[in-house]
Amino acid sequence: MSYYMILELLGGVGLFIYGMRQMGEGLQKTAGDKLQRFIELLTSNPLAGVLVGAGVTAIIQSSSATTIMTVGFVNAGLMTLRQAVGIIMGANIGTTITAQLIAFDLGGFSLPAIAIGAFLLFFTKQKRFKQLGQVIFGFGLLFLGMTVMQGSMAPLADSEAFREFFSTFGAIPILGILVGAMTTALVQSSSATIGILISLASVGAIDFSVAIPILLGDNIGTTFTAMLSSLGTKLSARRTAMAHMVFNVLGTGVFIVVFYLVPGFSGYLESFFQNIAEYFGHTWNVQRLIANTHTAFNVTNTLIWFPFIAFLTNLVIRLIPGKEEILHKGPIYLDERMLKTPVVALEQAHKELLRMADLAYVNVGDSRRIFMDEEENLIDNFYEREEAIDALETKITDYLAKLSRQSMDEVYSARLNNYFHLINDIERIGDHAENIVELAEYKMENKLPFSDRAIGELNNMFDRVMQTIDEGIKSLSTGDLATAVKVLRFEDEVDDLENEYRENHIQRLNEGLCYPGSGIVFVDILSNLERIGDHVSNIAKIMLKDRS
């Protein structure tokens, strides 16, 4: 096998992978956010998860993308690990559609498809036509890559050394599984590896018995990408990736046992698919044989392990032990059935406001740790809570808007209007905490120095602001007027500290004791902390007004 043949093969693989991704991205853009909503709504049980996983993966042509969405839902508390396992099973089935597609001899349509797709993609203005063009363009590149791979491998059909090398995999299936796993892990696409297999088989370089073990290895190799991407992520993300690997390893294990226990198993399998094709009046070929085997393996694997989803879930939890608190980004207490009873509905909204305020409080505290101690591991959780705060702002506002259409007395009507203001103030506290984290990231990226005095002043400012927020949440929770008055006093102290520390900063700047870049960050943090105090003060004033 010459260097040119290797480069030609790699070029064909590159075209194949790029085309597959272009086609998948185009289909995903066409479907938009509906796919994510589809997954969220139809995963109430594992069977629904299997069907949704298969359908979505068939559409977007990427089991990895489906797994990523699934991990997101698990992290958000919208889906359990058990439901995620169902989607993973379905994703394995859905990804076989690519193999079925490339088993058709459509290489002659590749260049016309590229031409049509490129025209729609680059010379039309409507978004829908551009997305359609991306799909057709990707389709053409995929089959052009297949044609290039087949052309590069054609000489191998006459190579006795190559045949002897690959015949080993038929005699020792475990070696074929290792080759398939490593190849798929290398190119990060099981479909690309199967494309190579189909190309080799189509030119007579390998036979069916050699292809099966490699095909089984593909299913293990495709899990490596998810495992690598889950490193350093949350416990739920790592467990979801591990569930993908465990499912495929166990399935491959079952089939490899069958290979060793049943002599000539590949021959039985070949006869089985040949008889089915002839029964339906179809002509069969080795390309279709490989694609059908790929589909059959993943469907059978799902059928075998579907009744044992609970076992798989518990196994994954044992493999990756630990406890993780799941953050619910949506509301917990809001119930539209309570809108007819405004008093109860207002109390439910009050509970959600407290949840929102607690999240903002935690984020302000974490923004301090991220800035002062450079705890970068807190950043992902910080932004996740910020997303939850924003989501609660929208949901509570919508709920109160619906409640405002109900008839209620003046006291509760005034309280409802006050809640609209509270939502805004709590959300703004979260926004200012986010500003501080962004300043912390800027500080870390640029390695900005801060004097001990500046750090001490910022710590004092944070102490007083955190105390102010704590008292503000207490006043919101209990309605205690004395606590609300204490908040106003604390907020005045925050203002005084901000003025004092700003003047100290100017003095250090004039004396050349302050690095200019650090000074800008210092002043911006003071300003954000002072604004947080203002919003907590607004909360206290609203409580005084509401309870007076």
Asked if residue 82 lies in contact with residue 309, where contact means CB atoms within 8 angstroms, the answer is: yes
d(CA 521, CA 504): 15
301 and 420 belong to one structural domain: no
Who's near 436: CB < 8 A, 6+ residues apart? Answer: 364, 367, 368, 370, 371, 525, 528, 529
| pLDDT score of 24 | 60
Who's near 294: CB < 8 A, 6+ residues apart? Answer: 96, 99, 194, 215, 218
pLDDT band at 466 (very low <50, low <70, confident <90, very high): very high
Phi, psi of 227 (to 5 degrees): -65, -45
Output the six-digit token pair for 209.
């018995």
Which carries the bigger pLDDT value, residue 180 or residue 450? 450
212 and 290 belong to one structural domain: yes
397 and 279 belong to one structural domain: no
247 and 101 belong to one structural domain: yes
Residue 29 exposed, middle or buried by CB count within 10 Å (0-12, 13-18, 19+) = middle
259 and 151 belong to one structural domain: yes
pLDDT band at 421 (very low <50, low <70, confident <90, very high): very high
CB atoms within 10 A of CB 518: 17
Does the structure show a pLDDT above 60 at 112?
yes
Q: Is residue 21 part of a domain?
A: yes
d(CA 175, CA 178): 5
Amino acid letter at 6?
I
| pLDDT score of 256 | 80
Q: Is residue 329 part of a domain?
A: no
Taking residues 338-357, report their average pLDDT: 90
Q: Is residue 331 part of a domain?
A: no
d(CA 209, CA 227): 30
Question: What CATH number is given to the structural domain containing 353?
Answer: 1.20.58.220
pLDDT tens string 122-166: 888 888 888 888 878 887 887 787 677 667 665 655 556 655 665
* Of 319, 347, 370, the domain-final residue: 319
pLDDT over 70 for what percent of the chain?
80
d(CA 423, CA 389): 10
502 is in which domain, residue-wise?
336-547
CB atoms within 10 A of CB 470: 15
Taking residues 463-490, report their average pLDDT: 91
Burial 267-283 (b: 16+ CB within 10 A, else e): eebbeebeeebeeeeee
Q: Is residue 327 part of a domain?
A: no
Asked if residue 112 lies in contact with residue 140, where contact means CB atoms within 8 angstroms, the answer is: yes
Q: Is residue 421 part of a domain?
A: yes
pLDDT band at 494 (very low <50, low <70, confident <90, very high): very high
Closest CA to 355 of 432, 430, 415: 430
Tally of structural domains, the chain:
2
| pLDDT score of 394 | 92
| pLDDT score of 474 | 92
Which carries the bigger pLDDT value, residue 167 or residue 463? 463
pLDDT band at 510 (very low <50, low <70, confident <90, very high): confident
d(CA 216, CA 219): 6
Lowest average pLDDT, out of 54-58, 168-172, 202-206, 515-519, goes to 168-172
* Of 319, 348, 373, the domain-final residue: 319
| pLDDT score of 398 | 93
| pLDDT score of 509 | 76
pLDDT band at 471 (very low <50, low <70, confident <90, very high): very high
Residue 495 exposed, middle or buried by CB count within 10 Å (0-12, 13-18, 19+) = middle
CB atoms within 10 A of CB 112: 11
| pLDDT score of 103 | 64
Output the six-digit token pair for 25.
């991205």
205 and 67 belong to one structural domain: yes
For the chain, give the mean pLDDT: 80
| pLDDT score of 74 | 67
291 and 353 belong to one structural domain: no
Q: Is residue 263 part of a domain?
A: yes
| pLDDT score of 422 | 93
Asked if residue 516 lies in contact with residue 454, where contact means CB atoms within 8 angstroms, the answer is: no
pTM exceeds 0.75, yes or no: no
* Of 268, 287, 319, the domain-final residue: 319
pLDDT band at 187 (very low <50, low <70, confident <90, very high): low
315 and 344 belong to one structural domain: no
270 and 356 belong to one structural domain: no
d(CA 467, CA 464): 5
Closest CA to 66 of 225, 273, 213, 205: 225
pLDDT band at 397 (very low <50, low <70, confident <90, very high): very high
pLDDT over 90 for what percent of the chain?
22
Q: Is residue 401 part of a domain?
A: yes
pLDDT tens string 247-304: 888 888 888 888 777 777 777 777 887 787 777 666 667 777 888 888 888 888 889 8
Lowest average pLDDT, out of 198-212, 399-413, 482-496, 510-524, goes to 198-212
30 and 131 belong to one structural domain: yes
Which carries the bigger pLDDT value, residue 91 or residue 98? 91
The total number of residues written for the chain in this structure: 548
Which carries the bigger pLDDT value, residue 336 or residue 437? 437
194 and 71 belong to one structural domain: yes
| pLDDT score of 159 | 59
Does the structure show a pLDDT above 60 at 37?
no
Who's near 503: CB < 8 A, 6+ residues apart? Answer: none
| pLDDT score of 396 | 93
Q: Is residue 328 part of a domain?
A: no
203 and 240 belong to one structural domain: yes
